[in-house]
């Protein structure tokens, strides 16, 4: 049997998600025995032409050229999986979606005329059909391994969509919101990371994006009782998954309230 071909693609991103593949130190060689890394520039200068059986796409679409490139990649990919918050919801760079990009450009670049970029940073699914999403900023390498193993065995990967709290409790971490009064996004955020932040005494900051049924309104209300103001809520929701529907909405609601109250 010929090995299936794997391609790893990069759009606007930090490379952290694709690095997770190389961070599978114990499994990397076993993976390459089961799947042929046909196109993965961060790891190999060998490039085998498509079509590919499995494409992992990292990064968000921020240029007109990338918007075209993703369509070509989709055409060459049998099964296309987005890896990470950038690819899934635009990533941290989606904060530009609220801003005047020309102003952003001039803030950062000496010669803004030479910068050609779209006004928005968007997830891959806004451009092409995506077969599966791995959440996280960065993705969890265990979930990545599960995805690859499931792909090879033709089964559905075990990727839960419930809240971070479930993993937090399985891990035995006392709730930081209840026990310390620390605001935590865990109850509205999808599990997958293993509930790391509460285990380190900090609130979850939402890098796996919204869970399946997030009640951001109720959580925001409770954060306020813990002393978080609307600005803090805006900052919290406008993080690494700022452009994901439910967080975007929650951030906008808080922003409107903040503007109303602060009257800047």
Residues that bind ligand SF4 (CB under 6 A): 13-14, 16-17, 58-59, 84-86, 91, 137-138, 164-165, 168, 173, 175-177, 184, 186-187, 195, 198, 204
Cα torsion 129, 135, 139, 142: sign: negative
At 46, give phi and psi (nearest 5°): -70, 135
Instruction: Give the C-alpha distances (Å, rounded to integers) separating 72 from 42, 44, 141, 174.
Output: 20, 21, 27, 47
The single residue among 49, 111, 227, 264 that binds another protein, judged by CB under 8 A, is 111
The residue with tokens 């999403």 is 133
**32 Cα distance to chain centroid:** 25
Asked if 179 contacts 152 with a C-beta cutoff of 8 angstroms, the reply is no
Tokens read off for 244: 């994901």
Measured from the CB atom, is 16 or 142 closer to ligand SF4?
Answer: 16
> Locate tokens 């265990």: which residue?
142
Question: Distance between CA 222 and CA 219 in Å, rounded?
Answer: 5
- Does residue 264 belong to the site contacting another protein (CB under 8 A)? no
Measured from the CB atom, the residue of 47 and 261 that comes closer to another protein is 47
Of 70-78, 88-96, 123-131, 248-256, the segment contacting another protein by CB under 8 A is: 88-96
Among 19, 228, 253, 255, binds another protein (CB under 8 A): 19
What is the smallest separation between the CB atom of 183 and ligand SF4, expressed in angstroms? Answer: 9
Q: Which residues contact 187 (CB under 8 A, 6 or more apart)?
A: 163, 164, 165, 211, 214, 215, 219
Calpha distance 86→138 (Å, rounded): 9
Residue 109 CA to residue 117 CA, distance in Å, equals 13
Indicate whether 105 belongs to the interface with another protein (CB under 8 A). yes
Closest CA to 239 of 118, 49, 85, 122: 85
Chain positions 143 to 202 lying near another protein, rule: CB under 8 A, are 145-146, 148-150, 152-156, 158, 160-163, 165-166, 169-175, 177-181, 184, 186-188, 193, 196-197, 199-202
Find the part of the chain contacting another protein (CB under 8 A) among 41-49, 75-83, 243-251, 253-261: 41-49
Question: Do residues 204 and 189 make contact, with C-beta atoms less than 8 angstroms apart?
Answer: yes
DSSP per-residue string spanning 212-235:
SS--HHHHHHHHHHTT--HHHHHH
Instruction: Among 4, 67, 74, 104, indicate the residue that binds another protein (CB under 8 A).
Output: 104
Which entry of ligand SF4, another protein, none binds 63, CB below 5 to 8 A by partner kind? Answer: another protein
Q: Which residue has its beta carbon closest to ligand SF4? A: 186
213 scored as a contact of another protein (CB under 8 A): yes
Residue 255 in the binding site for another protein (CB under 8 A): no
Residue 253 makes contact with another protein by CB under 8 A? no
- Residues touching another protein, count (CB under 8 A): 114
Which listed option, another protein, ligand SF4, none, makes contact with residue 76 (CB within 5 to 8 Å by class)? none
With CB under 5 to 8 Å by kind, the binding choice for 190 among another protein, ligand SF4, none is none
């Amino acid at each position: 049997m010929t090995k299936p071909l794997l391609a790893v693609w990069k759009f606007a991103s930090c490379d952290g998600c694709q690095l997770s593949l190389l961070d599978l130190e114990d499994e990397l060689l076993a993976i390459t025995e089961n799947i042929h890394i046909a196109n993965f520039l961060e790891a190999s200068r060998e490039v085998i032409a498509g079509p590919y059986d499995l494409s992992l796409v990292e990064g968000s679409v921020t240029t007109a050229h990338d918007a075209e490139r993703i369509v070509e990649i989709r055409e060459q990919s049998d099964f296309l999986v987005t890896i990470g918050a950038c690819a899934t919801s635009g990533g941290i760079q989606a904060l530009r979606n609220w801003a005047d990009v020309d102003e952003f450009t001039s803030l950062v670049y000496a010669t803004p005329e030479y910068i050609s970029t779209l006004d928005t940073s968007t997830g891959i699914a806004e451009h092409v059909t995506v077969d599966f999403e791995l959440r996280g900023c960065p993705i969890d390498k265990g979930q990545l391994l599960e995805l690859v193993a499931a792909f090879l065995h033709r089964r559905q990967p075990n990727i839960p969509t419930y809240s971070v709290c479930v993993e937090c409790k399985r891990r035995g971490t006392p709730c930081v919101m209840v026990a310390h009064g620390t605001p935590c996004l865990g109850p509205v955020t999808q599990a997958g990371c293993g509930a790391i932040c509460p285990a380190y005494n900090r609130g979850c900051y939402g890098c796996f994006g919204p869970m399946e049924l997030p009640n951001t309104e109720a959580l925001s209300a409770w954060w306020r009782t813990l002393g978080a103001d609307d600005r803090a809520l805006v900052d919290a929701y406008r993080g690494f998954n700022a452009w994901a529907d439910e967080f975007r909405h929650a951030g906008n609601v808080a922003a409107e309230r903040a503007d109303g109250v602060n009257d800047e």
